[in-house]
Structure 1
């Protein structure tokens, strides 16, 4: 009976026969847990220490407190603006432009990238043009958009959408082109054509590149929307930063800068969560590799 139980659970038998393996696995688990705790501590402590050094330097006169407002005063200013609703107004304006522009640009970029990936004539026709347009600074397109659409929300949203479109289109196309020909041959041998080939081979194969494009585009979209709000808006975080500089209100300017950086981190974090949901095999492969070491 004992033999049958051990045979039915080979891992348990192997563990019972190899106590050294048990100890090695447990040691490796504790080491990995310790490394994660250390990484988290460093991630939290580094900005805290930098802020403390900034505070001390500003209070003791090592740096000009009029230009480098102490973090305590920045926090007080941020709380004041939050309570009054001023900060929420700017966050809402920037967030709306970012959400609409990023969504439209990402959808168009993925669609065009996939079409160019499966169609060689389309790739030949549009490839050089898109390469030239990608090199053009996206903020340079803003005056043209303002001429066409006027001082409305459309130019601001389109500026974000255009910048996101090219990044994701390039990454999506690269993901399709880099799929191994042997995989495509095997898929066709199993009668995977048309929508089946697209759904089960092309899209999963390109998805890691698509997610990389989304992560890059997330940071770029925050930069572009902030720059656009510098010159063509009466609200938003970019306007808050620029207007505070013009009125020499550095505490408000720093509040805007901090909120923009936090917004960028949140957008990137959401993309990472989406990536884990859409391509879980990528992270499961990483865990398997770590476990095998």
Structure 2
């Protein structure tokens, strides 16, 4: 490489790094500014502190609940329902979506039914699940699993269907069929759509498990939020809301981390400093 080209590459690399640092700073600064504005508005009376408790008091209340163990009880209950429901729904959704994508008769048989069921609000089936299984953990977990199932199934099916026909023709020309066609062509081709479905369903699972705990549980973060509202304890309510947000971010971040491992080329953009790829 010529000196001029080396300089241009280094300049572009420095610009890229600066943009990354700027974006990270903005991501951290924005919520910090909002929290400071909230604190000032509550302390000066611009906001009713009885309804919008200052963040400093919310933090103090959250620390009390962490030290006392109360928050961990609710986090553990919600996390257990979320993990089990998410895993069950994701595995079932991937399997059914792959079957529907590979075998046209299965797609023709199940497609209309799943389309109708997907439009049904998943929280609306909670009373039916409670009638069948009673006030146990099963209805709460199944509510999450069913919500996740449809999102993942739809994305998995879309990933299979949208594979370019020319790729399939080339694979068959090289005598790829059966398991080999599925393993080396269909599954890799559908993986990006599957991971997109998992990202969407992760957030939906957090919403559903929280809503279910509002009405059908005596523990969990949803119960904590609803019970705090009924008792007019806004500090505790905000602790629950913030904790739910953190859990949602962690679950989504875990899916994104899996995506970076399985699909590294999606996150390999940006210039590299000279010598990095040698």
TM-score, normalised with respect to structure 2: 0.96
Residue 195 of structure 2 is matched in structure 1 by: 211
1:1-293 superposed matches below 5 A:
15=1, 18-284=2-268, 286-287=269-270
**Secondary structure in 1 matching 2:176:** coil
Instruction: Tell me if the contact between 2:12 and 2:271 (Cα under 8 Å) persists in the aligned partners.
Output: no
Structure 1 residues without counterparts, runs of 5 or longer: 1-14
Distance 1:55 1:279 in 2: 42
Larger Rg: 1
Distance 1:234 1:96 in 2: 14
For this pair of structures, how many residues does the alignment match? 273
Distance 1:195 1:288 in 2: 38
Residue 6 of structure 1 is matched in structure 2 by: none
Q: Cα RMSD between the aligned structures?
A: 1.3
Relative contact order (alpha carbons < 8 A, sep ≥ 6): 1 or 2 greater? 2
Distance 1:26 1:278 in 2: 29
Assess, with a 3 A threshold, how the Cα gap between structure 1 residues 110 and 288 changes in structure 2: closer, same or farther.
farther
Q: Residues 67-95 of structure 1: CA distance to partner in whole angstroms, max 9, x if unpaired? A: 00000000000000000000000000000
TM-score, normalised with respect to structure 1: 0.92
Return the structure number with greater helix share: 1
Distance 2:39 2:149 in 1: 41
Structure 2 residues without counterparts, runs of 5 or longer: none
Distance 1:221 1:128 in 2: 24
Runs (4+) of structure 1 exceeding 4 A deviation are: none
